[in-house]
């Protein structure tokens, strides 16, 4: 586990020269000297010019970035997911003429390159059917993605949309895929003190951002009770209300096929277990972890573990059937077995990639896979 990241002085004091800091301060002033932490996190990550995911120079993944993803390990991951999507196309969709694949949170589109490159060579009939769509709200990221795809000769295979509103309801026959997307959704944060649930807000004090608290609203308190968050003194928790909203949007657009969600998180009873009393919110910068989400604004990733039970419940309420919920090791071992049935031979480089993806002490138990179908 990396050592906690300590922000340098210029980050901790939040230089007023930074446009993002100024905008957040102005919004705090307009809103009565405080804003929801959820709003602070939204601006820090998704401000249209200086948010962490919007910056033109942003390259958050890989050795040169702030964190590793499965895609960072190598091209084999694209093949593994591609095999599951191909199986859906064969078994559930009877080889439909068009297989619409929507990816959200595509970063630099390396996953799209890896999956499509594999399909082009190994499953050419599937490749011909794939209609690949990337949801990307930020123009610099779209340009980076286009460049990456063009270098692989795949740019014409992909189309872009800014958000879900550009996709009509029941317009997807195929799959919706996301890898480490929902963990970066802005969250509400609550803490239990002196027998009362309180919500954390962000203010500006002594030349830096700081937390303040006030009694949680009745609506939020009711949600806390529904989630069965333990009312222990000092217990801190995050509530990702936007995850349920996202699932409802996705389910409304899926006519037939699957939703495959890859992320780190737990079933609800583990996420809100008594031993997890300090929540799961973390910042990441240059592969170092930070316990201060209010520092390095717009320069560090902010993430929380997700409540997979919420996704399952919301999906089922929207007509989706839960097919599978397993860790990465078990999900990818199924793909390895399918590949071996085709007499797939792995190179030494690919074997090292598999070891990283599968080993319990590496990535094998870090991520969970939720597959739902319609």
| Residues 200 and 228 grouped into a single domain | yes
Identify whether 74 is part of a domain.
Answer: yes
The total number of structural domains in the chain stands at: 2
Q: What gap in Å lies between CA 228 and CA 222, rounded to an integer?
A: 10
- Do 33 and 122 fall within a single domain? no
pLDDT for 361 equals 84
Q: What is the pLDDT of residue 60?
A: 66
Residue 331 domain flag:
yes
Beginning with the edge strand found earlier in the chain, give each strand of the sheet holding 288-290 in spatial order: 288-290, 282-285, 301-303
CATH code at 105?
Answer: 3.40.50.12710
* pLDDT of 285: 87
Tell me: do 131 and 247 sit in the same domain: yes
Co-location of 79 and 131 in the same domain = yes
The pLDDT of 225-235, averaged and rounded, is 98
Q: Are residues 143 and 258 in the same domain?
A: yes
Residues 299 and 309 in one domain: no
User: 99: exposed, middle or buried (C-beta count within 10 Å: 0-12, 13-18, 19+)?
Assistant: buried
- Calculate ∠ Cα 110-114-118, nearest 5°: 165
Query: What pLDDT does 288 receive?
Result: 87
Q: Are 59 and 99 in contact (CB under 8 A)?
A: no
Higher pLDDT, 254 or 64: 254
Query: Cα separation of 30 and 117, whole Å?
Result: 50
Tell me if residue 193 falls in helix, strand or coil.
Answer: strand
Region of residue 215 (left: phi > 0; alpha: psi -120 to 50; beta: else): beta
Tell me the residue range of the domain where 218 lies: 9-58+188-239+273-303
Residues 6+ apart with CB under 8 A from 275: none
3-class state of residue 55 by DSSP: coil
Residue 75 has pLDDT above 90, yes or no: yes
Same domain for 291 and 314, yes or no, is no
Res. 53: pLDDT tops 50: yes
Alpha-carbon span 78 to 94, nearest angstrom: 22
Report strand pairing: 254-263 vs 368-373.
antiparallel
Query: Is residue 4 in a domain?
Result: no
Residue 222 lies in a domain: yes
Closest CA to 49 of 30, 27, 21, 26: 21
The answer to whether 208 and 293 have CB atoms below 8 angstroms apart is: no
Backbone angles phi, psi at 199, to 5 degrees: -100, 140
Same domain for 293 and 251: no
Q: Which of 3-12, 48-57, 253-262, 361-370 comes out lowest in average pLDDT?
A: 3-12
* Six token digits for residue 14: 């939040």
Helix (H, G, I), strand (E, B) or coil at 343: coil
Supply the pLDDT for residue 63: 63
User: H-helix or E-strand containing 77?
Assistant: helix 76-87
Judge if 116 and 225 occupy the same domain.
no
Would you say residue 3 lies in a domain?
no
**For residue 4, pLDDT beyond 70:** no
DSSP lists the bridge partners of residue 266 as 307
Residue 355 φ/ψ, nearest 5 degrees? -60, -40
Given a cut of 60, is residue 287 above it in pLDDT? Answer: yes
Q: For residue 348, what pLDDT is reported?
A: 97
Q: Determine the 3-state secondary structure of 325 from DSSP.
A: strand
Residue 35 belongs to some domain of the structure: yes
Q: pLDDT confidence of 11, banded at 50, 70, 90?
A: very low
User: Does 352 reside within a domain?
Assistant: yes
CB 176 within 8 A of CB 311: no
**What tens digit of pLDDT does each residue of 102-116 get?**
999 999 999 999 999
**Percentage above 70 pLDDT, the chain:** 92
Based on the domain organization, do 153 and 174 belong to the same domain? Answer: yes
Nearest CA among 296, 290, 301 for reference residue 3? 290
Structure confidence by residue, pLDDT tens digits, 134-154: 999 999 999 999 999 999 999
Statement to judge: residues 166 and 192 lie in one domain: no
Task: Give me the pLDDT at residue 9, please.
Answer: 35
Least confident of 90-94, 95-99, 275-279, 358-362: 358-362
- Global model pTM greater than 0.85: yes
Query: 319 with 179, same domain?
Result: yes
């Amino acid at each position: 586990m990396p050592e906690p990241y300590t922000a340098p002085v210029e980050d901790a004091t939040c230089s007023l020269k930074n446009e993002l800091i100024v905008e957040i301060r102005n919004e705090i002033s307009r809103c009565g000297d405080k804003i929801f932490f959820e709003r602070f996190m939204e601006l820090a990550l998704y401000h249209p010019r200086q948010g962490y995911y919007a910056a033109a120079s942003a390259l958050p993944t890989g050795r040169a970035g702030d964190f590793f993803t499965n895609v960072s390990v190598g091209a084999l991951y694209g093949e593994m997911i591609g095999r599951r999507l191909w199986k859906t196309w064969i078994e559930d969709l009877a080889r439909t003429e068009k297989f619409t694949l929507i990816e959200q949170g595509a970063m630099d589109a390396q996953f799209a390159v890896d999956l499509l490159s594999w399909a082009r060579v190994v499953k050419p009939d599937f490749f011909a059917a794939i209609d690949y769509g990337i949801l990307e709200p930020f123009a610099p990221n779209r340009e980076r993605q286009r460049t990456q795809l063009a270098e692989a000769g795949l740019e014409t295979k992909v189309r872009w949309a800014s958000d879900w509103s550009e996709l009509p309801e029941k317009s997807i026959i195929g799959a919706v895929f996301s890898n480490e997307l929902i963990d970066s959704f802005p969250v509400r944060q609550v803490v239990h003190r002196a027998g009362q649930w309180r919500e954390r807000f962000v203010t500006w004090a002594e030349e830096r951002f700081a937390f303040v608290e006030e009694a949680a609203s009745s609506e939020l308190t009711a949600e806390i009770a529904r989630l069965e968050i333990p009312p222990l003194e000092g217990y801190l928790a995050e509530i990702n209300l936007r995850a349920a909203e996202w699932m409802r949007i996705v389910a409304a657009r899926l006519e037939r096929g699957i939703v495959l969600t890859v992320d780190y998180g737990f079933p609800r009873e583990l996420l809100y277990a008594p031993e997890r009393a300090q929540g799961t919110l973390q910042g990441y910068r240059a592969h170092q972890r930070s316990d201060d989400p209010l520092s390095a604004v717009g320069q560090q990733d902010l993430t929380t573990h997700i409540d997979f039970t919420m996704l399952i419940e919301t999906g089922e309420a929207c007509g989706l059937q839960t097919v599978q919920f397993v860790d990465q090791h078990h999900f990818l071992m199924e793909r390895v077995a399918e590949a071996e049935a085709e007499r797939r031979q792995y190179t030494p480089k690919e074997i090292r990639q598999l070891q990283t993806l599968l080993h319990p002490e590496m990535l094998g138990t870090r991520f969970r896979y939720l597959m739902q179908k319609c």
